[in-house]
Amino acid sequence: MEKSLETEHPIKAYGYAAKDTSGTFSPLTFSRRATGDNDVRFKVLYCGICHSDLHYAKNEWLASTYPLIPGHEIVGVVTEVGSKVEKFKVGETVGVGCLVGSCRSCQNCSNNLEQHCPKMIMTYASTNFDGTLTYGGYSDHMVSDEHFVLHWPDNLPLDSGAPLLCAGITTYSPLRHYGLDKPGMKIGIVGLGGLGHVAVKFAKAFGAEVTVFSTTPEKKQEALEVLKADHFIVSKDVEQMKAATGTLDGILDTVSAPHPIAPFIDILKTAGKLVLVGVPEKPHELPAFPLILGRKIVGGTSIGGLRETQEMLVFCAMHGITSDVEVIPIDYVNTAMDRLLKSDVRYRFVIDVANSIKAPLQT
């Protein structure tokens, strides 16, 4: 007999799930596995809402299985550790990001690039090694292999720090990997949203001269006065874009809405780098001549491996970098998703899980 969500594992759990392509969330009772020898179990305190959560909830990427419990920007406190766990202890504050598993033996895993492992297991909407689905941080507790659990720096806030586990590493990693982290470099950030505002903070902390590109002129004051960017360009203003031709060492494009990238290639210096982390619905048109004649590069990255993500958290704690957030209770999540669709958030929603998910929930 097929086991139900409540009985497939021995430990009962409670969360909020999307149960069909409407993407509407409601309470769900399910179960999580027992704490294995190498596992860390923790009570979820906060979980950020990523735009990916909305895509998955509505099956817009055609990869969703229901019921679906999202959440991969998770901060919690350890409640139990397995007999072979060496890095964590009960009572410690920890984080879990986008990954909860990988093969641990391929070349990518050996090089601390678990995010590129062919057998990578995502924190939610993925199949675990035991064949069951993974469920994310919109839930009261989680369990993960200790390799995929992160130490949380003592002076890093829990609520505004949670989005760093996705938005943070998604922008930190490309700046580091592509060498756009050197003091004095001239760096552009395209888009001033959940990813872009954190990218500005990283670039400034690296010592860069930062230019923000946005289609929204009203974001100029925010970019210059609050985030301390050095320049602001309205990307749909042809004259402003033309005036910036050949001025930047690198550009990080965080925008997921369809937009032309050729104008940004023109703004790069010789041998400049345009790095994409946004995922528009339609493929970009890529002009060859500006790349060839200018020896320029267009690249991309997703997230980072576990070592780099831990490095990023430490860097954020040292430099006071957090996400700008609006903290909400779990029962506000449907309204939050509607607002997220309209870009009506500055800049990231974070669910106060510990104070708003209470067992038992009625399904």
pLDDT digits (tens, 9 = 90+) for 151-189: 999 999 999 999 999 999 999 999 999 999 999 999 999
Residue 363 has pLDDT above 80, yes or no: no
Residues 68, 139: contact at Cβ < 8 Å?
Answer: no
Residue 203 has pLDDT above 60, yes or no: yes
Tokens of 231: 């320049």
Q: What does the pLDDT read at residue 361? A: 42
Tokens of 223: 């970019």
Taking Cα atoms as reference points, which of 344, 319, 317, 314 lies closest to residue 332? 344
CA distance 164 to 92: 19
Residues 203, 258: contact at Cβ < 8 Å?
Answer: no
Q: Any residues with CB less than 8 A from the CB of 23 and at least 6 apart, and which?
A: 54, 57, 58, 337
Please state, rounded to an integer, the average pLDDT across all residues of the chain: 96
Distances in whole angstroms, Cα of residue 245 to Cα of each of 108, 181, 263: 37, 21, 9
pLDDT band at 6 (very low <50, low <70, confident <90, very high): confident
Residues 301, 277: contact at Cβ < 8 Å?
Answer: yes
Residue 346 has pLDDT above 70, yes or no: yes
Residues 231, 290: contact at Cβ < 8 Å?
Answer: no
State CA 162 to chain mean position distance: 9
pLDDT band at 46 (very low <50, low <70, confident <90, very high): very high
Instruction: Give the mean pLDDT of 62-68.
Output: 95
Start-end of H helices in 92-237 = 107-110, 167-177, 196-205, 220-221
CA distance 214 to 281: 19
The CB density around residue 31, as the number of other CB atoms within 10 Å, is 18
The CB density around residue 330, as the number of other CB atoms within 10 Å, is 23
Instruction: Give the mean pLDDT of 12-29.
Output: 97
Taking Cα atoms as reference points, which of 171, 130, 170 lies closest to residue 32? 130
Residue 1 has pLDDT above 50, yes or no: no
pLDDT band at 281 (very low <50, low <70, confident <90, very high): confident
β-strand partners of 12: 31
pTM exceeds 0.85, yes or no: yes
